[in-house]
């Protein structure tokens, strides 16, 4: 059983690290601000979600696991609202100078 949990952790955390790399590459390589925003907010939150899923079997108990999931949900909520706000700022004229 422990082997199955460890394999799950290996697989999901590796996938999560890959999505973090994808988010960074998107942030550096995409041509303009809205596409970079799109790369960042989606790929990174998916990566964080996979890391959290991978850490769940390693958590100390049920409450610690729920706390990890709550952090991910907070980050998802914050990132989706903030990406809308930043996109609106960019459309209005580039943000504060």
Q: By CB under 8 A, name the binding residues for another protein.
A: 6, 9-10, 13-14, 16-17, 20-21, 23-24, 27-28, 33, 36-37, 40-41, 44-45, 47-48, 51-52, 55, 58-60, 64, 67-68, 71, 74-75, 78-79, 81-82, 85-86, 88-90, 92-97
Residue (4 or 28) nearer to another protein, CB: 28
Least distance from another protein to the Cβ atom of residue 57, Å: 10
Nearest to 1 by CA among 57, 68, 63: 57
Question: Which tokens sit at 96?
Answer: 């504060």
DSSP conformation class of 60 = S
Least distance from another protein to the Cβ atom of residue 79, Å: 7
Least distance from another protein to the Cβ atom of residue 10, Å: 6
Least distance from another protein to the Cβ atom of residue 86, Å: 6
Burial of 47: CB neighbours in 10 Å, binned 0-12, 13-18, 19+: buried
Nearest to 51 by CA among 23, 86, 81: 23
DSSP conformation class of 66 = H
């Amino acid at each position: 059983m422990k082997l199955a949990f460890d394999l799950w952790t290996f697989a999901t955390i590796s996938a999560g690290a890959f999505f973090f790399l994808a988010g960074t590459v998107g942030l550096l390589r995409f041509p303009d601000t809205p596409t970079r925003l799109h790369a960042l907010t989606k790929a990174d939150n998916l990566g964080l979600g996979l890391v959290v899923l991978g850490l769940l079997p390693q958590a100390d108990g049920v409450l610690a696991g729920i706390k990890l999931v709550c952090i991910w949900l907070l980050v998802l909520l914050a990132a989706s609202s903030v990406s809308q706000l930043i996109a609106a700022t960019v459309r209005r004229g580039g943000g504060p100078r």
